[in-house]
Amino acid sequence: MNHPASSVVMLSEDYTERSVPFPVVILSEAFGRDSGRMRSRRTPILSRSRVPHPFAFFWRKGGRATILALLGLSLLTACSGEKPTPTPAPELVRDVTLFTAHRTTVSDFVEATGTVRASQSAQLSSQVMGTITRVNVHEGDRVRRGEVLITIDEAQQRAAYSGANAGLQASQENIAAANADYALAESTMKRYQMLYDKKSVSPQEFDEVKARMAAAKARRDAAHAGRTQAEAGVSQASTAMGFTKIRAPFDGLVTAKLADAGAIATPGIPLLIVEDPGHFRLEATVDESKMGAVRLGEAAPVVIDALGEQAIAGKVVQIVPAADPASRTFTVKIDLPANSQIRSGLFGRARFARGERQSIFVPQTAVLSRGQLQAVYVVGKDQAASLRYVTLGAASAQQIEVLSGLEAGDQVIAQPNDRELSGKKVEAK
């Protein structure tokens, strides 16, 4: 067969009738000097050309099976191409309400969180050890000042009181005897004084009478002191008996009952907690770096989550001067107005004004919750919507502040509802 130099590659005489259906471009004549040897070894050659077949090396090293496998693989690769699938056009959503984000001047403030506590609260405990015989109140009961709330067994204190009374009676008898002795010694002294003045008694006898009167006076004074001590013992025993009855220190509300009848009352262990329900405070913690915004006597709006988002007018009445070394915060006490719904232990947030700042607000209906994150749909210049996660701040009646994630001029979908709009083109109303 006669073929031009760029023709189809043919095998040697043994494979003359098997043409290889794969076009090969002649690379160069640099390998022409090997064509003779290839023909002498009955290996594949390029028809009527001095340039060796590009697979001659593989033919020599690996044999016919290798060259045929490579040619078959090339043929399959050339025939396996497919046309690319066209990308479908994005879905169009019509009548979408858009909102343009813009910066607004708002009041800047420092927010501090805290706990509502009664301005007057008392933990009641026993001052004597004994068995509780009766508890007269429960949680939620209102009590009056001086009312007996808990009674403790007073047998031991009553015995001590009886002993103190007996000691007082004994001291009174001692005083009577001492007074009689002193009266006698005083009379004797007066008589001996007259005799001594008349030189009727010796100085020795006069000194003995005088000494007996001094001793009688000392015994009388000691008896009086003993009575004072006995009276103190009676008073102490009476007070101890009073400790067996725990009374309300002021008009208030029982908020905790920590013991029941039959339990052992121990000094210092709380048994009841009583609070004044008419006066509460928010004890908020403020970071040391933000204390410049807190001033004594200034108004501080307070929001108690349990009562809704309506702010309550509070007033800073105390700033604890020492910071907590663990958290580096100060405690600020804020008086709250009377409100029957306020209870101790509620969570509250106080705000302290410190000027103005620029911020971005969006409608609350534009914000979507994705687990613990919040996001909005932003429409780009190509009118395609994309989900963007944002960090939110304080909320007002209908809008909410965006601290990060949006820039002024961004187009936000105001009411996405539950629709999935990511990647879809939108058309505004």
The lowest-confidence range among 59-63, 153-157, 237-241, 416-420 is 59-63
- What is residue 275's predicted lDDT score, i.e. its pLDDT? 93
Amino acid 387 reads L
Share of the chain above pLDDT 70, in %: 79
pLDDT at 196 over 80: yes
Domains 111-119+275-355 and 154-243 alike in fold: no
Q: Which residue has the tokens 């809008």?
A: 399
Distance (Å, rounded) from C-alpha 8 to C-alpha 18? Answer: 11
If one compares 66 and 346, the residue with the highest pLDDT of the two is 346
Is 113 within 8 Å of 287 (Cβ atoms)? no
Residue spans per domain, the chain:
13-79, 96-107+357-428, 111-119+275-355, 122-148+247-272, 154-243
Of 86-90, 206-210, 281-285, 300-304, the range with the lowest mean pLDDT is 86-90
Q: Are 57 and 44 in contact (CB under 8 A)?
A: no
Q: What's the predicted TM-score (pTM) here?
A: 0.56
Q: β-pairing, 130-135 with 142-143?
A: unpaired
Q: Is the pLDDT of residue 299 over 70?
A: yes
Instruction: Return d(Cα 148, Cα 135) in angstroms, integer.
Output: 9
How is 185-211 classified by DSSP, letter by letter? HHHHHHHHHHHHHTT-S-HHHHHHHHH
* Average pLDDT of span 77-99: 68
> What stretches of 243-279 adopt beta strand conformation (E)?
245-247, 252-257, 264-265, 270-275
Can you give the pLDDT at residue 419? 83
The CB density around residue 364, as the number of other CB atoms within 10 Å, is 14
425 contacts 93 by C-beta, under 8 angstroms: yes
CA 167 to chain centre: 60
- Mean pLDDT, to the nearest integer, of 116-125? 92
Strands (E), 288-398: 299-304, 312-319, 329-336, 347-363, 368-370, 373-379, 385-395
226 pLDDT exceeds 70?
A: yes
CATH code of the domain made up of 96-107+357-428:
2.40.420.20
pLDDT-based confidence at 195, cuts 50/70/90?
A: confident
The Cα–Cα gap between 340 and 279 comes to 10
Q: Which amino acid is at 249?
A: P
pLDDT at 137 (0 to 100): 93
**What's the mean pLDDT in 378-401?**
86
pLDDT of residue 142: 93
The per-residue pLDDT for 354 is 85
pLDDT at residue 383 above 60? yes
What is the CATH T-level fold of the domain 154-243, as seen in this structure? Helix Hairpins (1.10.287)
Fold type of domain 111-119+275-355: Elongation Factor Tu (Ef-tu); domain 3 (2.40.30)
